[in-house]
Amino acid sequence: MSVSYPVQSMTAHLTGARWFAGKGRRAELVSVTPLPWLGDPQDSPAVRFEVAEVAYGGGDPTEYYQLAVSYRPGAQDDLASAEIGRGHDPELGDYVAYDAARDPEACRVVVGALLAEREQQGPSGSFRFHLTDATGLSTDLTPQVYTGQQSNTSVMLGDVAMIKLFRRLELGRNLDIEVHDALNRAGVADVAGIFGWVEGTWIADGVTRQADLAMVVEKLAEARDGWELALSTLREGTDFAPEAEALGTALAETHHALRTSFPRSSQPGAALAATMTARLDRATAAAPALAAYRSGLESLFSALAPVTLETQRVHGDFHLGQTLHTPTGWKIIDFEGEPAKTLAERAEPDSVWRDIAGMLRSFDYAAASVPGPRSATWAAECRAAFLRGYAGGDLAASDEATLRAYEADKAAYEVVYEVRNRPDWVTIPLGAIAGLAAAGGASPADEHHTAGTKTPSSPAHHETDQHQVKE
């Protein structure tokens, strides 16, 4: 181990953190590799990024976690809950180590390193800060950690910016940084501005590894979470269609910029239909209720066979929880894609219909979360408005067929998720499956009716790691 903490205290800190993804598994802390100091280590606090390597039994892959650590010569009463461990270091002397995200002075050191575009090579690793915009950013801003986020850590910098510390590191370029940077350069107003980011390298098993460690993005003032805004209109009986149409326009603008900023490709519809059918086979094995709709769903998928779909970089996990409504319009957040996919899979070109279908399914979930006499009408109006905003008019018949296939593919995934995690909610995607299968030509004998089934007792929310936080 390259850092002199007691192993027990570091292991306890790591495995007990809300953002640690290995809960429920037997985790072994293999090493902690320090990157160079962000400033003079004789200053207090001395701050650096460190990379923890965690191994599991049972053949699970090794994971790397980022620890931003501040070192102080003595205990700080106001940081007691952020303490990581205590020890002695030849360079620092006696120290108390704290989670830097919860140490305001340490956060100011990070901001200062970004503004200075600092980079440093050390014996076991390096870091490099990339600054793209310094407007309004300074070390005088008041840092405040946001306690609600889990898989990463966000620190608000006054009303100007937010530091997002990536905790479980993905080797290679972080997609959220990559996309935000590209869209900012393209002048897209539908995403948050990015001030910059920091990348790090370290040596593990004799091999140099690289990952992005953190990003600093615009804090969106007076932003409302899209999911919560949609639910509030349902509860109040007010119209959401204008917002849905504007959201469709925002997605279209974002897709256009992504199309010109990243490589494009194409995919034969027949190959896609085969992939969706294979996914349906796996989904049916996990959720046998899907078997009743198989013929109709296969018919929807087979309609893709004659077409060739253009593919490009897309959001990949688009739903209401990945949007914020601000006084200046919609902002789209979290471009990291579906968490279950590998980084390479999430970076691959895909069809824009995947994002469109994701949002339409989200409208359906919102309507089901607030059942009432107008909920179905609300969802239908949102659907029509969103598509109108995206396409600028009615969809062609071939596009309608493609969209139905993508919706069916998404709904089948949702059925499996609900069976495994929230059985009370499975009637929501099954209801969509029934309607889609009927459109695909399922016989009446194949249709299952869900009338009278149990209504969920709390709002269904898609799993999301929000990169922006509503105030």
Place of tokens 């990559």: 178
pLDDT in tens, 45-85: 999 999 999 999 877 889 999 999 999 999 999 999 999 99
Average pLDDT value for residue range 248-264: 97
Dihedral sign for Cα 421, 424, 425, 427, please: positive
pLDDT-derived band at 3 (thresholds 50, 70, 90) equals low
Angstrom distance (rounded) from CA 356 to CA 88: 55
Beta-sheet pairing, 152-157 with 161-166? antiparallel
Q: What share of the chain is helix, strand, coil (3-state, %, to 5)?
A: 40, 25, 35
Backbone angles phi, psi at 172, to 5 degrees: 105, -165
Is the pLDDT at 446 greater than 80, yes or no? no
Dihedral sign for Cα 72, 75, 78, 83, please: positive
pLDDT of residue 91: 84
Type of residue numbered 393 = G
**CATH class, 224-446 region:** alpha beta
pLDDT in tens, 179-192: 999 999 999 999 99
Least confident residue range of 168-172, 199-203, 443-447: 443-447
H-run or E-run covering 408: helix 397-421
**Kindly report the CA angle at 258 between 223 and 334, in degrees rounded to 5?**
35
Residues of the chain with CATH 3.90.1200.10: 224-446
pLDDT in tens, 296-338: 999 999 999 999 999 999 999 999 999 999 999 999 999 988 8
> Distances in Å between the alpha carbon of 65 and those of 30, 60, 112?
11, 15, 23
Structure tokens at 228: 């919560």
**Helical ranges in 213-351 per DSSP H:** 226-236, 241-261, 269-286, 294-302, 343-347
Average pLDDT along the chain: 90
β-bridge partners, 166: 152
Is the pLDDT at 403 greater than 50, yes or no? yes
Average pLDDT value for residue range 115-130: 97
- The DSSP 8-state label assigned to residue 420 in this structure reads H
Backbone angles phi, psi at 168, to 5 degrees: -80, 115
Query: b vs e for 363-380, b when ≥16 Cβ sit within 10 Å of the residue's Cβ?
Result: bbbbbbbbeeeebeebbe
Angstrom distance (rounded) from CA 365 to CA 143: 36
pLDDT of residue 10: 85
Locate the DSSP E strands across 300-435.
308-311, 323-326, 329-332
Structure tokens at 335: 């471009």
pTM: 0.86
Angstrom distance (rounded) from CA 191 to CA 213: 21
